[in-house]
Structure 1
Amino acid sequence: MHIYGSTASPFVQRVLMAARAKGHEIAVKPPLGGQMQSPEFQAISPMGRVPVLALDDGGHLCESAAIVGYFDDTLDGPALLPTDPLARARTRELVSLAIGEVGVGLRPLMVHLVFRMGDAPDVVAAARATIEKGLDAIEKLIPDAPATTPTPADCALVPILALARIIDPMAGTWERVKAHPRVAHYFERALEHPIARRTIDEMEAGFAAIMARNAG
Structure 2
Amino acid sequence: MEWLAGHWRDVLDLGASHLYLAGVPLVVGLVLSVPLGWVAKRWGRAYPVVVTTTGLLYTVPSLALFVVMPLVLGTKILDPVNVVVAMTVYTVALMARTVADGLRAVPDHVEQAATAMGYKGLRRLFGVELPLAVPVIAAGLRVAAVSNVSIVSVASIIGVSQLGDLLIDGYNRVIWGELATGIVATVVLALALDALIVLGSRMLTPWRRAAGGHA
User: When the two structures are superposed, what TM-score results if normalisation uses the length of structure 2?
Assistant: 0.28
Larger fraction in helix: 2
Larger fraction in strand: 1
Structure with more relative contact order (C-alpha pairs < 8 Å, separation 6 or more): 2
